[in-house]
Structure 1
Amino acid sequence: MRTLLLLGCSAALLAACTDKNEAAEDKLEKAAETSATVAGPLPAALGLSEAQLLDADLVGADGKELGDVAQVVRGPDDKVDRLLIEIEDSNPDRYVHVPILGLKTVVKGNDTDLVTTMTKAEVAALPEVKLPAA
């Protein structure tokens, strides 16, 4: 009986954490989309608008996906200086800032990727960015 009670409490805590993470991710996504809408079609960085940056994937020099752009981040001068990236296949989801400096764009059909010289290990070693609570 005690084991069942512990399992039930553990499952409830895990579900609550997952719900909080999902709520924080949803809030981040809405804020990023709103920012992109306000910024409009003008280039924000790398010749791309905020909306185009949000649609891009971060890939390594080998073309393998390293993560998805979750947010465009501007510095004190209001210029885009880094991107918040959700690391590919991280569980739970893990976010890092990747500097815009050194990224290049590659267009493949209708998709635009952002290419970095960093490896998967180097991206994973970047300090984690904790999402604010929803």
Structure 2
Amino acid sequence: MRMLLLLGCSVALLSACSDQNEAAEDKLERAAETSATVAGPMPAALGLSEAQLLDADLVLADGKELGDVAQVVRGPDDKVDRLLVEIEDSNPDRYVHVPILGLKTVTKGDDTDLVTTMTGAEIAALPEVKLPAP
């Protein structure tokens, strides 16, 4: 009986954590979209608007996807200096800041991606950015 109670509590706790993570991710997405709308079509970095940066994937030179841009981050001078990237296939979702310096754009059809010179291991080794609680 105790095992069932313990298992039930564990499932409830995991569900609550998952709900909090989803709420934090939703809040982040809304804030990023609002910022992109306010910034408008003007280039923010790399010749791309904030909205275009948010639509981009972070890829290696061979096209392998490393992550999705979740937020455009500006420094004290109000210039974009890094991107908050959700690392591909991380579970639970893991976010890191990737410096804008060294990134290049590549366009394939209607898609624009950001190519990094960093390796997948270097991206994975970047410090994790915890999303603020919703």
- On whether the aligned pair clears a TM of 0.5, the verdict is yes
Q: Which runs of 5+ in 1 are unaligned?
A: none
Which amino acid in 2 is paired with 1:131?
Answer: L
User: What is the aligned partner in structure 2 of residue 56 from structure 1?
Assistant: 56
Please provide the CA RMSD for this pair: 0.4
Normalised by the length of structure 1, the TM-score is: 0.99
User: What is the aligned partner in structure 2 of residue 20 from structure 1?
Assistant: 20
Written as runs of structure 1 = structure 2, the 5 A alignment for 1:46-125 is 46-125=46-125
Which amino acid in 2 is paired with 1:83?
Answer: L
Distance 1:60 1:108 in 2: 14
Q: Deviations over 1:42-69 (max 9, x none)?
A: 0000000000000000001221000000
Q: CA deviation at 1:127?
A: 0.3
Normalised by the length of structure 2, the TM-score is: 0.99
**4+ residue runs of structure 1 moved beyond 6 angstroms?**
none
- How many residues align? The count is 134
Q: Which runs of 5+ in 2 are unaligned?
A: none
Distance 1:111 1:128 in 2: 27
